[in-house]
């Protein structure tokens, strides 16, 4: 068996061999036609590990027949960049694949980017992080194309695995492997769209299998054992983790219990319990809010219990909290109100605090005009408590309504009280 890993050997050599990514490099795309016609634009390839960023770069190089060089921004230095520039001067043009491009430092940029701008170097950068957040604007401005790759579908991966099994030169075609279509499908469905993992699992399964009467027999239990937890992806440091947090909050906001539980489970598998707890508490007050005010304390209790319990038991109170939030009445009126007030203040709508609201806990306050405050508790208003009709906002913003109640759950009652108080105030 060859020394290189199967995933490395089976990288596509032309864009016609690329699996999936039809929206990016399919035969009806502009990029496909440009590459076929010999023109390769500088671009950024964005996506999770194992979805084909490196493979696509190799395929573009193989189709365009441009001299191809590869670097990793985390380990390459100025000398590596200068070597690429020297190659470009000798050959006229070089296609440079730069992995982890979001870690490209300023010295590397200053050396390389003028040559990218002149067209001597075609830059294909790959990153697992959101390029709009993590890639330097100087690089983005020179890469006209930003392509977000998607995880491969099981059908795409079945094709990748079958080609590896049939290819006698680069793959496993010369080996007498007995594997069923069902077993191939099991691998394809168990790696969460990651072609590299699919090929690594296939290769490991073949190596670990017994040879009986001249044939390598693949057994189901071995596939399941090697797949294990391989379907999990992402970490608690990168873009994908924050995408998971976002998906959890939006699923709760949309009252989709099953989606929310799925994303909660995925987040807990990353191991960052603190970040998950923090997001759940934010959600309780941002998205549930005044419509179901009891949810906030419930979620706080659940997150505190999760910290005391630790994983894996922490998943139990957190699951309770997520399901309750999903099915609770929801309102974002409170945080919208405070944001509106902050915006008004930042735009200069501050004004002077009315004299009757200013501090009077010192001698001479009345001499400064801090008088006229009426104590609401001295004026009962039905079962509401106490209320008097006096001004609280500064003159500059008097009459401004920051709070716009949502008529949902318990907030419907608050909205009715708010409306009634506005009516009383109009009678001033």
Q: Where are the domains positioned within the chain?
A: 21-148, 154-227, 239-327, 333-426
333-426: CATH number: 1.10.3710.10
Q: What is the mean pLDDT of residues 73-101?
A: 84
Q: Is the pLDDT of residue 3 over 80?
A: no
Q: What is the DSSP letter of 29?
A: S
Instruction: Summarize the confidence of residues 12-20 as an average pLDDT.
Output: 86
Q: Which CATH superfamily does the domain covering 21-148 fall into?
A: P-loop containing nucleotide triphosphate hydrolases (3.40.50.300)
The predicted pLDDT at position 296 comes to 95
Q: Above 70 in pLDDT, residue 232?
A: no
Instruction: List phi, psi (to 5°) of 138.
Output: -60, -35
Comparing 52 with 401, which gets the higher pLDDT? 401
User: pTM of the prediction?
Assistant: 0.60
Residue 184 has pLDDT above 50, yes or no: yes
Is residue 74 within 8 A of residue 103, CB to CB? The reply is yes
Chain centre distance of CA 172 = 36
Q: What is the chain's mean pLDDT, rounded?
A: 87
**CATH number attached to the domain at 154-227:** 1.10.8.60
Of 142-156, 285-299, 322-336, which range is least confident?
142-156
- CA pair distance 412, 195, nearest whole angstrom: 52
| Residue 238, pLDDT score | 61
Q: What are the strands of the beta sheet with 43-46, ordered from one edge?
A: 68-72, 94-99, 121-127, 43-46, 145-148
Confidence (pLDDT) at 2: 58
**Is 1's pLDDT higher than 50?**
no
Q: Domain 239-327, what architecture? A: Up-down Bundle (1.20)
Q: Nearest-CA neighbor of 280 among 337, 321, 242?
A: 321
- DSSP for 61-124, written as a single string: HHHHT--EEEEETTT--HHHHHHHHHHHHHHS-EEEEEETGGG--HHHHHHHHHHHHHTSEEEE
Residues of the chain with pLDDT > 90, as a percent, come to 29
Asked if domains 154-227 and 333-426 share a fold, the reply is no
Most confident by average pLDDT, 241-245, 379-383, 400-404: 400-404
Average pLDDT for residues 41-57, to the nearest whole number? 85
Please give the Cα distance from 135 to 320 (Å, whole number). Answer: 39
100 in Cβ contact with 26 (< 8 Å): no
């Amino acid at each position: 068996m060859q020394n290189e890993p199967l995933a490395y050997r089976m990288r596509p050599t032309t864009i016609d061999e690329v699996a999936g990514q039809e929206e990016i490099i399919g035969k009806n795309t502009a990029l496909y036609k440009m590459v076929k016609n010999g023109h390769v634009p500088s671009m950024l390839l964005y996506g999770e590990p194992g979805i084909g960023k490196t493979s696509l770069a190799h395929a573009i190089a193989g189709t365009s027949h441009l001299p191809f060089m590869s670097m990793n921004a985390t380990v390459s230095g100025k000398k590596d960049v200068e070597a690429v520039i020297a190659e470009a001067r000798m050959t006229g043009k070089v296609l440079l694949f730069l992995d982890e491009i979001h870690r490209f430092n300023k010295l590397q940029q200053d050396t390389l980017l003028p040559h990218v701008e002149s067209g001597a170097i075609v830059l294909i950068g790959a990153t697992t992080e959101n390029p709009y957040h993590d890639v330097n604007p100087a690089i983005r401005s020179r890469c006209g194309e930003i392509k977000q790759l998607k995880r491969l579908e099981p059908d795409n991966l079945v094709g990748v695995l079958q080609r590896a099994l049939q290819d006698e030169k680069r793959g496993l075609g010369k080996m007498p492997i007995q594997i069923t279509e069902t077993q191939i499908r099991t691998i394809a469905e168990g790696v969460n769209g990651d072609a590299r993992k699919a090929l690594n699992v296939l290769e490991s399964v073949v190596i670990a299998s017994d040879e009986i009467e001249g044939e390598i027999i693949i057994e189901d239990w071995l596939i399941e054992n090697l797949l294990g937890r391989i379907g999990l992806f992402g970490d608690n440091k990168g873009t994908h983790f924050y995408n998971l947090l976002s998906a959890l909050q939006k699923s709760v906001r949309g009252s989709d219990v099953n989606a929310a539980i799925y994303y909660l489970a995925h987040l807990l598998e990353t191991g960052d319990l603190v970040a998950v707890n923090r997001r759940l508490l934010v959600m309780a007050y941002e998205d549930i809010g005044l419509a179901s005010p009891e949810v906030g304390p419930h979620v706080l209790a659940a997150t505190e219990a999760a910290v005391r319990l630790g994983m894996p038991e922490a998943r139990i109170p957190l699951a309770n909290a997520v399901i309750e939030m999903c099915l609770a009445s929801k309102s974002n009126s409170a945080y919208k109100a405070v944001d509106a007030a902050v915006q008004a203040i930042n735009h200069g709508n501050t004004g002077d605090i009315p004299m009757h609201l200013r501090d009077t806990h010192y001698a001479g306050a009345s001499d400064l005009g801090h008088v006229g405050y009426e104590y609401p508790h001295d004026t009962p208003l039905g079962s509401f408590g106490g209320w008097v009709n006096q001004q609280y906002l500064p003159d500059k913003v008097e009459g401004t309504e920051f709070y716009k109640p949502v008529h949902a759950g318990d907030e419907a009652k608050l909205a009715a009280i708010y409306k009634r108080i506005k009516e009383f105030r109009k009678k001033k």
